[in-house]
Structure 1
Amino acid sequence: MANGEDAIIRKKQLRSDSSTVNKRIAAVTAQKKRRQSGKRRMRQGMCFSLPAQEDPFNDKNMNLESKKTKKVLPLNEDNNLTGNSNTASQNKRKAAKDHKSNGQNQGQKKSRVEKESTLDDEGCPSKFLISCLKTVQDTMRDDEAFERGKPLFFDSWGFEYWRCYTRGTHVLETSGCATTKQIAWIGSTAVDTITNKELDGESFTGPYLLFIVPSQERAAQVRTVYKSLKLFGIHTVSLHSGASIDHQIHGLKACEPEFIVCTPDRLLELVSLDAVDISGVCSLIVDGLECSSGDAYADSVKSIQKHISVDLHTVVFCSGLTNAYSLAVSSLLSSPVCILSRDEICET
């Protein structure tokens, strides 16, 4: 009798253990599904197709989605038992047709890739760069600089700047201080370059872009534009005499920014304290280099350039150039230089 009770107790214990294991398996499975769902959402968020000028409503991509065909599953024994010979014959013919069609699709895909590569060689901004520009414009949609119904990526100055940047040609803008649109194009182009280099395995231990401005107020304006790019992992800090040195040193160590917007004197002070390493800066933007600033501003920029050891791309925004002051500008820019303005574009 005791043996029978013991057997019953063991069976109940086994059921209890089995139930616990099943619950644990169910919990783990649910957790995996949540993770996979999250990864799918991330991938879906990363995969996008932007509207183009010839396809403003993105109809082409929507049509491609609707035309996708379902894969034909191979017949198994159950299918053969439940289906008839005609169905099997039809499936075989369809499989052969799909195989032939797949070969044609592969050829078309290869042709499309070659065509896209040719377009890239001719000089077309990437979809990622366009996405950066759209993000800035959407974030700052209330800014008067952006015209409603006019996408930022159709800006002619921005496209010409991008062409100069990709060719490694330095830029002199003779229309004065940088506008919001110009700031957006410069930053978005830098983000595109950083992303491509990181995908190729390159890493950055210091700031990539250095935007020099004449005042604290101007630094705040530029940083406002670049805050939109934080969505793409780009951190921007503003360095000027309006904040304490200790606060700025702590901020530089805490976030390791990709972009720095600064007044030249404060930056030189921080460099002398080893608070920031600018030796690897690849893009230098000098804003507001006007005649009224005197030689001190240009001299400070020259001192900053001496701390940069790589072959960097330089952009200078200036207006009111005279023969005497053009010498100061030329000392900041090496050849070749592309002169851009809102009215005309020429190259020297």
Structure 2
Amino acid sequence: MRATLRAVHARREHYGRGHVATYAPGLANANPDDLTIAICTVDGRELVVGRGTQRVSLQAVANPFSYAIALELCGQPAVHAAVGVEPSGNTADTIELDPLRARPFNPLENTGAITVAGLLAEAGLDGPALLDRMSAFAGEPLRIDEAMLAAEYRAASRNRAIANLLRAAGVLAETEPALELYLRQCSIAIPVPAVARMAALLAAHGQRPGGPRLTSEQTARDVLAVMYSAGMHHASGEFAVEVGLPAKSGISGCIAAVVPGRLGIAVYSPLLDSRGVSVRGLAVLRDLSRTLDLGIFTPGATARTR
């Protein structure tokens, strides 16, 4: 597998055109040529090609994991009463609710992730406690990038509008605790291999590789289902066909993908397409899925997870 990673990295290192996110200095100053690929298997083996020691901004890749925390703390009925599990076909930051239910479409778009943050805040989870849980998922201590957090607050007009919409719809009780927790999770600084470990936790059905169980199998299943249908936002259908894995993208250029029962993958490249998805990240995951037969509907995939 190491040879495959190196070959894919070499093939995609200078692939494609795009832009880096510009609303925060930490994103705008990213090297557009960076490309890191990390894999963590369910038994804890790790492979990294690229700059594995650099910390990147977790951004929306945090959303599946805050959703998992909410399912564990609040229970599935309470969470799903507040946020749906349907793909919307919208951009991640759309200011829109499901018109049939007057709630967010799913927990991975900004509307749903802010709702989940509100549930966590109501359950008594504060910023340090959320960071502790994310660190447990990652298998190492994580930290908040304070400069990124300050930039997130400066650029929070749209997310604040979403929070106000959620409060007006009766989804959120208070806007500020939800918004604060949401912006904090976006501002987590994390090494790319740690993102792969977080993905591997889901691949192992809630069991941290080489460590304790951190979520129930049901929670992991729910998270993976929503990642598959909605994790790449309005690129989710294309990704399902071309790659065939549960995944979540973020505006920093990081993508986490899960091969259930086998491994977690993290790819970081800050060059984004018009949808805000990493150009090289998509290409790398497409290559890996096809070369290694990783897609969940690939013949024999079910047998390989047993």
Same fold (TM over 0.5): no
TM-score by length of 2: 0.26
Structure having the higher Rg: 1
Structure with more helix by fraction = 1
Greater length-normalized contact order (CA 8 Å, ≥ 6 residues apart): 2
TM-score by length of 1: 0.24
